[in-house]
Structure 1
């Protein structure tokens, strides 16, 4: 979009927050870059240039605006709506892969050479993987500076910088402030001894957002011991590279409150990325709603609850196992099966806030030795579970952000016991395909009959072609025609 100068100028002049994260405005006279909704008086059009990423702005010699803080914009919705190489690369960079594995590791995951990845990212985003990762490190550093009392040396290494000097130089270059000045402006106390304190964040999103089905689904399907709804927040344990973490996510006006407790602050970037993915916070609700509302059948549903999101997962492998456990049973039964699996094979983890979280969900490796006779499931379902676990453990099935959605679908469909419902459920919530559609789902078919839509899977699939590529969001609206607890915030 950044190449459409006229459209970008209109967005800046109207301070349209819908375009935050889509592009960035760099001002030639001040050498500052802003988000489109920046509250300052817009510059003259001839003094504006537009870039597709904060990293491109920084690489061109611009610093972040202190008023609108463009580095805190929601991410571009493109990276969650596409499955091409650039989109998958951006999802991996967002997860901190470049910091952990370098550019060669990023390229290996995508099956390309480092030079090819560099060329594709430069062409579309105006910056290579190192510059994009550097911009993300700067934002992580800012979060730790402003929300914790960690010494700056600890902040530097937690954010992924190789040295304190590089950290200091980057912060000054990107924000035109020293780390100390950033902390003072935020009103934080001086550095203290690092400890297991909570990190409080605001996770921005593009309005509107209807939280009912989003948090209702997570709460109603939550696995006891791993997840819970408590004091108005969805809480769960997170399995992270440097140790377990705990997150509490609270729906608020204009943002999601996020309270993290981490074993190691180096996991902050990945934890935030997973939380944003879980809640689908980088979606473009206006684009989704506009297309779905063009159908007279969906228009009243969209008008009644604009901005519905697709509840996802923090761990694709975990969700795949849970999807199989939930085949042809009620929500309550699926939770019971998953809770038994967690109690028997999960890693015990203490809840730092004294809640009901007790375990991490078991990994495929931990479930590899699972005795199928211990599962209170039909024999065919036991085979499905053990086959899936083995395929996940040995890499025959991959469900990470680096995987093309169609390739993952094909790998899952080849497993015994995997029909269209299971494959599309995983595609929608674990892989994040915005066009995943559960034509054979009981709730979808019930809603279709109620709304006068075709009820058979084939006919319904054909009827919904006009909803593409947002059919996963249409599913949320169809489900919401029922009074099931997944569609409402818990009391």
Structure 2
């Protein structure tokens, strides 16, 4: 979009927040760059330059605006919609792969040479993957500077800088302020929720319907791993450098996020996974506009616009839970998962609630005793086959995988039908066009709305909703009387029995 000069100018002049994250406006007369909705008086069009990423604006020598904080904009919805290599690379960079494995590690994961990857990413974003990762580190550093009392040396290490000098130079270049000045300018050092907690806001594009995403997560929460407490969804996180706990509370213009981390190096990764979990980088206007063209879905969209797809912070975890949920109720699936957690999950400390465990990793489930599972033999074999495939690498799940290849690998496993594969594609892989045509809730909704109830006919009918069929699922589910559609009024059971 950044190449459409006139459209970008109109968005800036109208201060349209819907375009935050889609592009960035640099002002040649001031040397700063902003988000489209920046509250300052819009510059003259001849002084505007548009960039597809904050990294590109920084690489061109522009500093981040102190008013609108463009580096904290919602992420571009493109990266969660597309399946090409640049989109996959962006999802992996957000998940910290460059910081942990370097650009060469990122390229290897994507099956490209470093030169090929650099060329493709730079061609679209105006900056290479290394620069994108540096921009992410700068944003993490500012967050820690402004919301904690940590020493700057600790912040530099936590944000991923190789030295204090690199940290200082980057902060000054990007924000035109020293770390000390940034901290002095901060209106508050929000440290809430207990010792060692980091409190921050996760922005999103309006509108957002919290009932569907938070209601779904709360209704399906696995005791010990997840809970709904005091109006917030809370869960444990398995992160590269150690466990963490997050509390997420819906608000009118942001999601309140409180993080307890065992290692601050995981901060940016934890934030990215929480945004992914809640689908906060979606473009609800574009989604709802297309779905509203269908006379059947239009009333559902008008009633509660802005539904998101509830995702996961751990694709392997969700795949296991999808198998446990085959042909059973939500309550039964939670019970099966809680038993796995109690027996195989790693115990954690929760300073702010009643969480007790991480969900067991595929490696921890490798020694799974099938005799201890109260389920049909066929489903036991399906679960064991999935665990083996994940451990052996025959199936790879994650934000950077190719959706089609992952779905093909899952479909080849015994016991994996369309419902399981599409559920994993929708919630673990983030495919916005995944469609669970055989789901009971979808069939009931189809019958109620006069849509075809047969899976094949419904898939054909759903082509009008492409490429947003995963969002159509959320609207169809909303026609039923199920706990996934409403925010809970009280706490849910959190401890493992």
Pairwise TM-score range, normalised by the shorter structure: over 0.9
Matched, 1:181 2:181: yes
Please, which runs of 5 or more residues in structure 1 have no aligned partner? none
Give the secondary structure class of the aligned counterpart of 1:359.
coil
Matched, 1:333 2:332: yes
User: 2:224 maps to what in 1?
Assistant: 225
Give the secondary structure class of the aligned counterpart of 2:459.
helix
Give the secondary structure class of the aligned counterpart of 1:75.
coil
Q: TM (normalized to structure 2)?
A: 0.97
Give the secondary structure class of the aligned counterpart of 2:267.
helix
CA distance 1:455–1:6, shift in 2 (3 Å): same
Q: CA deviation at 1:196?
A: 5.2
Aligned equivalents of 1:115 and 1:85: distance in 2? 13
User: 1:418 maps to what in 2?
Assistant: 416
Aligned equivalents of 2:160 and 2:284: distance in 1? 32
Matched, 1:448 2:449: no
Q: CA deviation at 1:187?
A: 3.6
User: 2:466 maps to what in 1?
Assistant: 468
Give the secondary structure class of the aligned counterpart of 2:242.
coil
Aligned equivalents of 1:357 and 1:306: distance in 2? 32
Give the secondary structure class of the aligned counterpart of 2:239.
coil
Pairing of 1:84-95 with structure 2 (within 5 A): 84-95=84-95
Pairing of 1:306-455 with structure 2 (within 5 A): 306-353=305-352, 355-455=353-453
Q: CA deviation at 1:371?
A: 1.2
Aligned equivalents of 1:474 and 1:189: distance in 2? 41
User: 2:278 maps to what in 1?
Assistant: 279
CA distance 1:149–1:449, shift in 2 (3 Å): same
Aligned equivalents of 1:240 and 1:51: distance in 2? 32
- Work out whether residues 209 and 307 of structure 2, in 8 Å CA contact, stay in contact via their aligned partners in 1: yes
CA RMSD of aligned residues (A): 1.2
Q: CA deviation at 1:438?
A: 0.5
Number of corresponding residues: 487
- Work out whether residues 226 and 359 of structure 1, in 8 Å CA contact, stay in contact via their aligned partners in 2: yes
Matched, 1:235 2:234: yes
Give the secondary structure class of the aligned counterpart of 2:456.
helix
Aligned equivalents of 1:34 and 1:262: distance in 2? 31
Q: CA deviation at 1:243?
A: 1.1
- Work out whether residues 196 and 262 of structure 1, in 8 Å CA contact, stay in contact via their aligned partners in 2: no
Q: CA deviation at 1:480?
A: 0.4
Q: CA deviation at 1:188?
A: 4.8
Q: CA deviation at 1:373?
A: 1.2
Q: Deviations over 1:7-32 (max 9, x none)?
A: 00110011100000000001111111
Q: TM (normalized to structure 1)?
A: 0.98
Give the secondary structure class of the aligned counterpart of 2:397.
coil
Please, which runs of 5 or more residues in structure 2 have no aligned partner? 490-497
Aligned equivalents of 2:383 and 2:239: distance in 1? 24
Q: CA deviation at 1:189?
A: 6.4
